[in-house]
Amino acid sequence: MNTITAAITAVGAYVPDFVLSNKVLETMVDTNDEWITTRTGIKERRILKDADKGTSFLAIKAAQDLIAKANIDPLEIDMIIMATATADMPVASTGVYVATEIGATNAFAYDLQAACSSFLYGMSTAAAYVQSGRYKKVLLIGADKMSSIVDYKDRATCIIFGDGAGAVLFEPNYEGLGLQDEYLRSDGVGRDFLKIPAGGSLIPTTLETVQNNQHNIIQDGKTVFKYAVTNMADASELILKRNNLTNEDVNWLVPHQANKRIIDATASRMNLEDSKVLMNIEKYGNTTSATLPLVLNDFEHQFKKGDNIIFAAFGGGFTWGSIYLKWAYDKK
């Protein structure tokens, strides 16, 4: 029996229509376009304005886009992994609802939360299920409605985050394509530097926590930046060395879209030319779990079968890592 590898065979995406530009943010907080662009590389981000729609709406749209483009029957999907930091509800699984809404009623589903590394961790998990031989079609969705947890009076965070969703389908491959290697890590030292303080079991929701604005995301930007630069770059460099890859062997770097300076530092460590570094941060900002699949969707037409792609991410917790994947198809 041939060895099974897990390959990405289809991608899909969705972003809301409303564009929150730097110019608009200038009217909301004490900031300006030049300051934001210089420090983050972000020009605009998409916002889901509908108050009655949550992360599940974004995820459903991205999944439906993939299903339509790949022309697959939702009933053939075996399982769904919902990578998100902004689940619709604290208990009822968002992934389960998404599975039902897209007609994947033969699939089991669950949520995976590792902050901005959620999709990267999800790639590892989805690939493992496929490589086990038990599942043929695993749908991995990364989606976040970050606007639901951002304080738009806090210029340290409101300039960074946006809403969006992306999805990929993992299937068995017998040509040696797909996920080749991974290096995933975490460190609880980051617990206090990027978080939502209240709403969990440690500090349950009360009138006081709401009044004190403890249900929005807060971060120590300088500390997070320092750890992100070091760990994303280290992980990416390690994955190259472990697989005897040089910068010439790498076709594309798909990095988490949190900050252009972090991406530049990672690419520099890998000694990659700019043309190999894929970015759309200027259009979407940091969509947390959705950044990696949104990049795949935007640049899918450039990928060729057999291309070596390095993924890298860093998130709150702290969580981080890198994945080496061989692309499995040419876009038709």
Read off the pLDDT of residues 225-236 as tens digits, 9 standing for 90 and up. Answer: 999 999 999 999
Structure tokens at 90: 């604290």
For 296, phi then psi, to 5°, come to -60, -40
The helix/strand/coil state of 122 is helix
Name the band, by pLDDT with cuts 50, 70 and 90, for residue 2: confident
Catalytic residue among 173, 231, 286, 297: 286
- What mean pLDDT do residues 289-303 have? 98
For 150, phi then psi, to 5°, come to -105, 135
Q: Note the pLDDT of residue 332.
A: 79
Confirm whether 158 is a catalytic residue. Answer: no
Name the band, by pLDDT with cuts 50, 70 and 90, for residue 181: very high
Confirm whether 173 is a catalytic residue. Answer: no
Catalytic residue among 116, 158, 259, 297: 116
Contact status, residue 67 vs residue 102, Cβ threshold 8 Å? yes
Spatial strand order of the sheet with 178-186 comes to: 178-186, 319-326, 308-315, 252-255
Confirm whether 286 is a catalytic residue. Answer: yes
- In sign, the C-alpha dihedral spanning 169, 172, 177, 179 is positive
Read off the pLDDT of residues 129-156 as tens digits, 9 standing for 90 and up. Answer: 999 999 999 999 999 999 999 999 999 9
Q: Note the pLDDT of residue 274.
A: 96
- What mean pLDDT do residues 246-252 have? 97
Read off the pLDDT of residues 196-215 as tens digits, 9 standing for 90 and up. Answer: 999 999 999 999 999 999 99
1 pLDDT higher than 70: no
Read off the pLDDT of residues 21-66 as tens digits, 9 standing for 90 and up. Answer: 999 999 999 999 999 999 999 999 999 999 999 999 999 999 999 9
Catalytic residue among 158, 256, 259, 297: 256
Contact status, residue 196 vs residue 149, Cβ threshold 8 Å? yes
pTM value > 0.75:
yes
